[in-house]
Amino acid sequence: MQLRDAAETLGVHYQTAYGWVRQGTLRARKTPRGYEVSESDVRDLLARRAAGAEPPREVQVRDWAAQADRLYAALVAGDETQARHDFGRLAAGVPLAGLCDHVIAPALRRVGEDWAAGELSIAAEHRATAICERLIAARVHQPQGRPRGIAVTTTPPGERHALPAMMAAACLREDHWHVQDLAADVPAAEVISLAADTGASLIVLSSATSGAARLAAKETREIRERLPNTRVLAGRPGDTLSRLRELARASQDPSQ
């Protein structure tokens, strides 16, 4: 059904229903006519609302840069307690994908720049990454309802940073995908084998460096040759999870 019809069934304004789509609370597929949603998902959300489980209200953050600065300071200091406090305060009303795009990614980018400039040790850089991994892991959840499909997330061979794949997996899970996260540095043949065994319709190769991104592009071609019916997305440094979500949703549309 069309999103406007779903909004009427749910008893809310169209913009409210659209907000739920943007947050991943209500799954939708973009078509030339607008957004389409399944009747079963609408009934599921209607039942949850009737039971008192209202969709979370998204918090509007005015200054994302300040939030990223706070996390950066906590990461450099190795203050995981403060990082958890700040992250948890935002996580109550902001989708995890948004937190990764606007807070974690910018903070870690500064950490990486400090390391490259010799202002931060390898140990401190690894500590910051590990803290962020735990922040994300504590917030990952699989929403109720029928999944969009099965996705495999990993990195190209030689990429040792698992966090980008972990962030991609968290984003897709939040958007109702069933995700097989393989972490980092997995040979293409193994990715192809697992994707075929699980019936995955989407494979995401994440990269933390430009060199890894070039390897991901090469691996993408190899996977597409072996699995022509599987959509393969190769991420590059600086790509956002919101863009990943859009591309993943587009992969469900046969016309894309």
Q: pLDDT averaged over the chain?
A: 90
Name the segment(s) of the chain with CATH classification 3.40.50.280: 150-250
- Which of 35-39, 134-138, 189-193, 230-234 bottoms out in mean pLDDT, i.e. has the lowest? 35-39
For the domain spanning 150-250, the CATH number is 3.40.50.280
Using an 8 Å Cβ cutoff, are 165 and 241 in contact? no
pLDDT at 146: 80
Residue 197's Cβ-count burial label (10 Å; 0-12, 13-18, 19+) is exposed
Q: How confident is the model at residue 256 (pLDDT cuts 50, 70, 90)?
A: very low
CATH architecture of structural domain 64-137: Orthogonal Bundle (1.10)
pLDDT at 190: 96
Provide CB contacts within 8 A for 55, sequence distance 6+: 20, 23, 25, 26, 45, 48, 49
Name the segment(s) of the chain with CATH classification 1.10.1240.10: 64-137
Counting residues of the chain whose pLDDT is more than 70, the rounded percentage is: 95
- For residues 218-245, give the mean pLDDT: 94
Helix locations, 33-184, DSSP H: 39-50, 64-77, 80-91, 96-99, 105-116, 122-137, 163-174
- For residues 172-183, give the mean pLDDT: 94
pLDDT top residue among 52 and 251: 251
Report whether pLDDT(11) > 70: yes
pLDDT at 58: 59
Report whether pLDDT(22) > 90: no
pLDDT at 24: 74
Report whether pLDDT(145) > 80: no
Q: Is the pTM of this model over 0.85?
A: no
Per-residue pLDDT of 58-111, as tens digits, reads 567 779 999 999 999 999 999 999 999 999 888 877 889 999 999 999 999 999
- For residues 213-239, give the mean pLDDT: 94
Per-residue pLDDT of 42-62, as tens digits, reads 888 888 777 776 655 556 777
One-character DSSP codes across 208-231: SSHHHHHHHHHHHHHHHHH-TTSE
